[in-house]
Structure 1
Amino acid sequence: MSTESPADGAHPSGASTAVPSKAGRNLPAAIAVGVGLGALVVASLIFVPKVWFGIVAAAIAIATWEVASRLREGDILVPRIPLLLGGQATIWLGWPFGTTGVLAGFTGTVIACFVWRLLDQGLGAAPRNYLRDAAITVFVAAWLPLLASFGTLMVTREGGSDWVFVLMIGVVCSDVGGYTAGVLFGRHPMVPAISPKKSWEGLGGSLVFAIIGSVATVTLILDANPAIGVLLGVVLVVTGTLGDLIESQVKRDLGIKDMGTLLPGHGGIMDRLDSLLPSAFVTWLVLTALL
């Protein structure tokens, strides 16, 4: 989850007037929002697991709008309407049809976006960045609804809520460990050109916390081999860090700090999903393969 400073010359979209912490966040606001979102997730998974579909679908709709709007500000014309509708189809079709429904929703979204962008620029007009815009549209469709669908697919199986808990606790442990170690011990930047606040010490903290958290959840919640927890913890740190860096690179390309302003201390919804999205896929993959 992102904690970087804005790029040189970038406008601080949605920047808070509060003094940020050393890691670049308005910490009290970030904690309050994080606790509130966590309580919503826990309550839904315990009492009405299928509500998880609605929560994820709503989050992805908002995140898609944020990303598409930021891209359009950078003169990249991704078609928002078919992306929004197709993203919902990608997620919801996973409920009755599993991975087949997800694949059908994603493929239909891509085709609809290709046609929409073609008609949007006019059939009689000379092509203007069609290939670039179409390629970035596919990137957004895969980045958001496709990856998110693996988080919802978990609750369609028996005991699937437990899988989501394992995912969320592992990602939170990684984020908390990286934040704590980075603030206390961070001296050596990992990728300063992309995310100046990330350090190798923070990565080490993420590994320690994520492995401990994943071993605990895999053992206590899933009653499975602790070795699976070790593997999952390492993979979650790798995918979570890469997911964070991917969004950071996108934002630096666009010259912005945050994708949105909805969540005080965090930015937009997408700024909270950057590490969760690829982590949802790898958690589903590891647990499906090993359990």
Structure 2
Amino acid sequence: MSQADQAPASRARAKRTQPRSNPTPKAGRNLPAAIVVGLTMLIGVLGGLIFLPLGFVAVTTGFAVFGVWEIFRALEANGTRMPIIPVMVGTVAMPFAAYFGGLESLLFALLLSCVAVLLWRSVESPVGSANSIFAGVFTLGWVPFFISFAALPLHAAGVVPPLGLWPGGTVPAGAWQVAVMLLLVVSNDTFGYLVGASLGKHPMAPKISPKKSWEGFAGSVAGATVIGVLACIFLLDKPWWVGVVLALGTVAASTAGDLAESMVKRELGIKDMSSILPGHGGVMDRLDSIVFASPVAFVLFSVVSGA
């Protein structure tokens, strides 16, 4: 081989071996983009929750719709076609049913949605019907049903304004409970990421989520506990120990939700549900913790309501 032929090959090898700058840290995120998107979402959701409750329900429903659509696309790519129309109708109906009608209406909406999935699929080809029906019912329970528990405390507040601000400008306790739940979920994610990225050495579930470590889990518990105690003292007018209970329950539920979604993604052979949120992946990659934390927080607040 001549020197003229060797030169391009040498340059190509050198180019391949040169380290490339990577804005994504070892924990797998573009941190600046993740912070901007996360804060924007949090401010928008909390603003709607405190100032326009029906707007909060609408935003929650919108996130659920995007999450269900991502699941539909991921399942379709793997050969399972979920009956998306009845699932989407149920996804839109359940949060509003919880807001206006409470727990009984939410359960009734879930039941009707599951029946609609079954009837819709029964008039189509029987090929793959079992997987299709299971996927639809599973998705209804996983995303819109669970996340609708975030709207139940607003109905439990006893005042459900269809439009406008809270009557009298006073934010009820139920709205503050939802706000605290969201702050605890964000604390779980933020402190777990910071501690896990810098100190994480012992994987929690290496076969499901290799980047999730026990050190990060400890950081989530510690950070959420501090936020929970402060929130109970200054926002909820509850004893400090209630904040500890809420923090532990929320972190456990959020971690379970994160691992559950990671297991689903691993089964489907994908890294993220989509790339719609810079630095975060898909909407479901942000909802995975909230959908599990919402019912757990609702139950915990109901138990400690007399404290």
TM-score by length of 1: 0.90
Q: Name 2:185's counterpart in structure 1.
A: 171
Helix, strand or coil at the partner of 1:198: strand
Partner AA of 1:130 in structure 2? S
Unaligned stretches of 5+ residues in structure 2: 1-20, 158-171
Partner AA of 2:187 in structure 1? C
User: For 2:142 and 2:228, how far apart are their aligned partners in 1?
Assistant: 24
Helix, strand or coil at the partner of 1:190: strand
Q: Name 2:149's counterpart in structure 1.
A: 150
What do residues 83-122 of structure 1 show as CA deviations (whole Å, max 9, x unaligned)?
A: 001111111112221011101110111010111122122x
What do residues 4-53 of structure 1 show as CA deviations (whole Å, max 9, x unaligned)?
A: xxxxxxxxxxxxx9631121001111111011111101221222122111
Correspondences of 1:248-263 after superposition (within 5 Å): 248-263=262-277
Residues 42 and 143 of structure 1: CA distance in aligned 2, closer, same or farther (over 3 Å)? same
Q: Name 2:199's counterpart in structure 1.
A: 185
Q: Name 1:97's counterpart in structure 2.
A: 101
User: For 2:98 and 2:178, how far apart are their aligned partners in 1?
Assistant: 15
Q: Name 1:226's counterpart in structure 2.
A: 240
User: For 2:99 and 2:37, how far apart are their aligned partners in 1?
Assistant: 29
Question: Per-residue deviation at 1:128?
Answer: 2.5
Helix, strand or coil at the partner of 2:212: strand
Helix, strand or coil at the partner of 1:274: helix
Residue 217, structure 1, aligned to residue 235, structure 2? no
Helix, strand or coil at the partner of 1:183: helix
- Structure number, greater radius of gyration: 2
Q: Which moved more, 1:203-212 or 1:44-53?
A: 44-53
Residue 239, structure 1, aligned to residue 256, structure 2? no
Provide runs of 4+ in structure 1 moved above 6 Å: none
Q: Percent identity?
A: 37
User: For 1:211 and 1:234, how far apart are their aligned partners in 2?
Assistant: 7
Q: Name 2:138's counterpart in structure 1.
A: 139
User: For 1:145 and 1:162, how far apart are their aligned partners in 2?
Assistant: 21
User: For 2:99 and 2:192, how far apart are their aligned partners in 1?
Assistant: 34
Residues 97 and 181 of structure 1: CA distance in aligned 2, closer, same or farther (over 3 Å)? same
User: For 2:124 and 2:99, how far apart are their aligned partners in 1?
Assistant: 32
Question: Per-residue deviation at 1:198?
Answer: 0.5
Q: Name 2:33's counterpart in structure 1.
A: 29
Partner AA of 1:236 in structure 2? T
| RMSD over equivalenced CA pairs, Å | 1.4
Helix, strand or coil at the partner of 1:275: helix
User: For 1:164 and 1:258, how far apart are their aligned partners in 2?
Assistant: 27
Residues 95 and 106, structure 2, Cα contact 8 Å, conserved in 1? yes
User: For 2:271 and 2:141, how far apart are their aligned partners in 1?
Assistant: 22
Partner AA of 2:43 in structure 1? A
Q: Name 2:48's counterpart in structure 1.
A: 44
Residues 18 and 26, structure 1, Cα contact 8 Å, conserved in 2? no
Residues 167 and 280, structure 1, Cα contact 8 Å, conserved in 2? yes
Helix, strand or coil at the partner of 1:134: helix
Helix, strand or coil at the partner of 2:124: helix
Name the structure, 1 or 2, with higher relative contact order (CA <8 Å, separation 6+).
1
What do residues 228-248 of structure 1 show as CA deviations (whole Å, max 9, x unaligned)?
A: 111111111111001001000
Residues 171 and 236, structure 1, Cα contact 8 Å, conserved in 2? yes
Q: Name 1:76's counterpart in structure 2.
A: 80
Residues 50 and 155, structure 1, Cα contact 8 Å, conserved in 2? no
Correspondences of 1:191-210 after superposition (within 5 Å): 191-210=205-224
What do residues 122-150 of structure 1 show as CA deviations (whole Å, max 9, x unaligned)?
A: xxxxx423222222221110010100110
Residues 188 and 200, structure 1, Cα contact 8 Å, conserved in 2? yes
Q: Which moved more, 1:38-47 or 1:254-263?
A: 38-47
Question: Per-residue deviation at 1:288?
Answer: 1.4
Unaligned stretches of 5+ residues in structure 1: 1-16, 122-126
Residues 86 and 116, structure 2, Cα contact 8 Å, conserved in 1? yes
